[in-house]
Structure 1
Amino acid sequence: MHGLFAVAMLSGIYSLVSATFFVALDAVDVAFTEAAVGAGVSTVLFLATLSITGEKEKKPNHSGLLPMIVVCIVGAALVYGTLDMPHYGQADAPAHTHVSKRYIEESGTAMGIPNIVTSVLASYRGYDTLGEVTVIFTAGVAVLLLIGSVKGPIKESVADGMQHHLVLRVVAKFLIPVIMLFALYVQFHGDFGPGGGFQAGVIFAAAFILYALVFGLNAAQQIIYHRLLVILVASGVLIYGGVGVASMLLDANFLDYSVLGSTPAAGQHIGILLVELGVGITVATVMLVIYFAFACRGRRGKQE
């Protein structure tokens, strides 16, 4: 398939269908993330990239035999790796051992929050989540280094392509505040239900991306400055790491939130809220930085 637009659409549809599968498996948090990231922002970023590269893939000068061989070898290695995985429903699988039982039965009391997923992601395996946030931060930095940062406004006639779509602009004015309010709900209600920093950050970024799509890039850049975005990209990671440093200064291990409150459960709750806030800030600003980098480059390419 050489139609890149069709590939982007199929990718978004696949992510949305995958989200419904996760809902059927009661993995609502994973479904939330897949729908927001895979079917939402990722599709928008693909389309922003297509505005630079074009919708059709150029015909390669070399044969497709070598890539096919590489794909087959990698696929065979992945299939071979699955042979070491436990069988579906196997009683002695790692997921059915004492570890999962401890998370399910004791995390609510130990962490002071009812959402087990949030407890696992933000506390029990907080090191992994810090690594994931660092990867997202690195991706934003890599885009800025490769594509370049936003440099000044672009021509309004090119940037504001939907100024005559009155209905769309009116509807967007009602939707954007609701989307931002929902993002705040997802951010701070993630302790009690599906949500958290990853999902909230993507939804919050989606509100600004919608504003940029409807009202133009120049209008969006007047609301949130690019230099401020770059600062916030790093501040989210610093908040997460700073919570760990604060724990160490209070004679505890890195990312051990128990010492942050009057009781261990209260400390865990405070620490999880802070690190989730850092995650949300980094995710939202990285999504916006990447979008503005691709969109502004595409608009300038059309001007030239």
Structure 2
Amino acid sequence: MLSGIYGLLSASLFVVLDAVDVAFTEAAVGAGISTILMLTTLAITGRYELSKPKLRTRVGLVLVTVIGVLLIYGTLGMPHFGGTDNPANGHVAAWYIANTSEQIGIPNYVTAVLASYRGFDTFGELVVVFTAGIGVLALLPHTPGNFEVDDHQPMKQHLILRIISKLLIPFILLFALYVQFHGDFGPGGGFQAGVIFAAAIILYSMIFGLAKTMSVINFAVVRFCAALGVLLYGAVGIVSMLKGDVFLNYSALAEDTLAGQHIGIILIELGVGITVAAVMICVFFTFSGSVDMSDKPGEKRAMQDNMEQ
């Protein structure tokens, strides 16, 4: 709950600083998805720890320590906060402001920078999100695809929540589509839209149960969509190369360069939205499925091990 409040306060701060797109992301992720996933993580955490070989624990500790030291060492090469040599304080921002309207042709400069000028960086970030989803599916022992989910509705007695959620969820999904396809002209884009879309599905699952949600949304289809968005993003870059230009230069997609930029940005933002929404839903489904399985033999075995010790 405190993390959600902190996310909303941070979003308000970004609005005051005129960073509306960042505020949008912070509100959707910091106050929404992150809080839900943290609560779900706590739900599957047992009271007792499974006994593990000491060698395995020591190896993990060494790896974490080495990676932490390397990350700290990497920060030493970063420019000082607020320093004049910081790239953000250089000529790049002024150049974007002066040339975006002529070269990209969309009023939202943030979308133009992230989706076009720095499209390769955004592609890498999308791959990171996709990889994180794969990591969750690989680490958790149970996924919705390999066990039966019981037909449990946790909010069955809360009629007000059920009725209000039925009224709100369609509008949340519609708002997600608006954010998705209006990101060229206002705050928003594929990342924010994907998180909002996933939040609507997660809300439905929390109110009506995982089994009912999975009867509407097939988990295999969601996993496929997680990869589909990345493939769509990469395919746009490949098409631009086939047309004789560089990777992810959308100007080659149409005879009119501005039209090509619009087409490319819409397509790659769609890929971002699909992958982000699918990964968030996959992660929640997997966590929720592990909650159903967590009472369970592992918990009982861990309790017995602790009693013996």
Taking structure 2 as the reference length, the TM-score comes to 0.84
CA deviations 1:160-208 (Å, max 9, x no partner) are 1211211111101000000000000000000001000000000000010
Shift of 1:109: 2.0
Q: CA RMSD in A?
A: 2.8
Q: Percent identity?
A: 55
Shift of 1:108: 1.7
Q: Does the alignment pair 1:250 with 2:271?
A: no
Q: 1:252 to 1:33 in 2, by over 3 A?
A: same
Unaligned runs of 5+ in 1: 1-8, 59-65
Q: Does the alignment pair 1:154 with 2:142?
A: no
* Distance in structure 1 (CA, Å) of the matches to 2:276 and 2:128: 10
Shift of 1:57: 10
Partner of residue 227 from structure 2, selected from 208, 225, 234: 234
Partner of residue 192 from structure 1, selected from 157, 169, 185: 185
Shift of 1:54: 4.5
Equivalent residues in 2 for 1:284-299, closer than 5 Å: 284-299=277-292
Match of 1:268 in 2: 261
8 Å Cα contact 1:258/1:265 also seen in 2? yes
Equivalent residues in 2 for 1:71-90, closer than 5 Å: 81=76, 84-85=79-80, 87=82, 90=84
8 Å Cα contact 2:115/2:122 also seen in 1? yes
Shift of 1:110: 1.0
Match of 1:95 in 2: 88
8 Å Cα contact 1:108/1:115 also seen in 2? no
8 Å Cα contact 2:143/2:290 also seen in 1? no
Shift of 1:83: 8.8
* Distance in structure 2 (CA, Å) of the matches to 1:93 and 1:84: 5
Shift of 1:303: 6.1
1:36 counterpart letter in structure 2: A
Match of 2:17 in 1: 25
Q: Does the alignment pair 1:35 with 2:30?
A: no
CA deviations 1:94-149 (Å, max 9, x no partner) are 33433211211210221121100000101111111000000000011111111142
Q: 1:83 to 1:139 in 2, by over 3 A?
A: closer
* Distance in structure 1 (CA, Å) of the matches to 2:192 and 2:293: 31
Q: Does the alignment pair 1:48 with 2:43?
A: no
* Distance in structure 2 (CA, Å) of the matches to 1:135 and 1:303: 33
Shift of 1:86: 6.0
CA deviations 1:55-107 (Å, max 9, x no partner) are 8999xxxxxxx9xxx8xx97xx68x949942646x5x7533433211211210
1:257 counterpart letter in structure 2: Y
Q: 1:297 to 1:96 in 2, by over 3 A?
A: closer
Taking structure 1 as the reference length, the TM-score comes to 0.85
Q: 1:118 to 1:83 in 2, by over 3 A?
A: closer
SS of 1:154's equivalent in the other structure is: coil
Q: 1:301 to 1:97 in 2, by over 3 A?
A: closer
Q: Does the alignment pair 1:217 with 2:210?
A: yes
Match of 1:168 in 2: 161
8 Å Cα contact 2:37/2:284 also seen in 1? yes
Match of 2:57 in 1: none
Match of 1:6 in 2: none
* Distance in structure 2 (CA, Å) of the matches to 1:172 and 1:257: 40
